[in-house]
Amino acid sequence: MPAKYHIKTSPAPPRHKPVGKYGIIDWREDCSACHNCVKRECAYSVYNDERDRLLENVEYVDYLYECKGCLCCVQSCTKGLLSWQINPAYLALGDEIWTADIITSTWYQAETGKVPVSGAGYPGPFRGPGFDSILTDMSEIVRPTRDGIHGREYISTSVDIGRKPLKLSFNQNGSVETDCPPLVEIPLPILFNLMPWHDLSPNITLAILDAASRLETLAITDEVDLLGNTTAVPHIETQSKCADAHNLIEWANSPNALELISRAKSTNPDLVAIVKLPLGSAYIERAIELARGGADVIHAFADWHGVVNESGKARHITDAIRELHQAFVRAGIRDAVTLIASGGISMAEHVIKTILCGADLVAIDIPLMVALECRVCMNCQEGLKCPANFHDIEHNYAVQRIVNLMGAWHSQMLEMMGAMGIREARRLRGEVGRAMFFDDLERECFGPVFGKLKAWAEVS
For 182-195, the pLDDT digits (tens) are 889 999 999 999 88
Q: Which residue has the higher pLDDT, 198 or 169?
A: 169
Residue 180 pLDDT greater than 90, yes or no: no
What's residue 389's pLDDT? 84
Nearest to 221 by CA among 393, 235, 392: 235
Residue 82 pLDDT greater than 90, yes or no: no
∠210-215-219 over CA atoms, to 5°? 55
In angstroms, the Cα distances linking 422 to 141, 149, 416, 429 are 11, 13, 9, 11
What's residue 363's pLDDT? 96
Give kind and range of the element (H or E) at residue 283: helix 283-293
Whether 24 and 46 have beta carbons less than 8 Å apart is answered as no
User: What number of other Cβ atoms are within 10 A of residue 308's Cβ?
Assistant: 24
Whether 362 and 301 have beta carbons less than 8 Å apart is answered as no
Which residue blocks in 300-437 are alpha helix, DSSP H?
317-331, 348-356, 366-371, 395-420, 425-428
What's residue 420's pLDDT? 87
The Cα–Cα gap between 69 and 80 comes to: 16
The Cα–Cα gap between 345 and 337 comes to: 22
Global pTM value: 0.86
The Cα–Cα gap between 33 and 227 comes to: 62
Residue 35 pLDDT greater than 80, yes or no: no
The Cα–Cα gap between 126 and 225 comes to: 48
Residue 459 pLDDT greater than 60, yes or no: no
For range 197-206, the mean pLDDT: 78
Residue 149 pLDDT greater than 80, yes or no: no
The amino acid present at 156, given as its one-letter code, is: S
Residues paired with 299 in a beta bridge? 276, 340
For range 435-449, the mean pLDDT: 82
Residue 124 pLDDT greater than 70, yes or no: no
Please list, in sequence order, all residues whose beta carbon lies within 8 angstroms of the beta carbon of residue 281, skipping any fewer than 6 positions away.
Answer: 310, 311
The Cα–Cα gap between 209 and 218 comes to: 8
Q: What is the largest CA-CA distance in the chain?
A: 93
The rounded mean pLDDT for the chain is: 82
In angstroms, the Cα distances linking 124 to 97, 128, 306, 387 are 17, 10, 22, 32
In angstroms, the Cα distances linking 39 to 83, 84, 119, 161 are 13, 13, 22, 55
φ/ψ of residue 74, rounded to 5? -65, -45
Nearest to 297 by CA among 307, 287, 306: 287
For range 326-354, the mean pLDDT: 96
Please list, in sequence order, all residues whose beta carbon lies within 8 angstroms of the beta carbon of residue 104, skipping any fewer than 6 positions away.
Answer: 18, 19, 20, 21, 90, 93
In angstroms, the Cα distances linking 152 to 116, 155, 276, 348 are 23, 9, 39, 22
Has domain 148-450 been given CATH number 3.40.50.300?
no
- Which range of 24-38, 261-275, 284-298 scores highest in mean pLDDT? It is 284-298
- Which range of 24-38, 44-58, 146-160, 383-397 scores highest in mean pLDDT? It is 383-397
Say which DSSP state 381 is in.
G
- Which range of 14-23, 54-63, 194-203 scores highest in mean pLDDT? It is 14-23
Whether 19 and 65 have beta carbons less than 8 Å apart is answered as yes
Give kind and range of the element (H or E) at residue 106: helix 100-112
Q: Where are the domains of the chain?
A: 22-91, 148-450
Pick the range with the lowest mean pLDDT from 295-309, 339-353, 434-448: 434-448
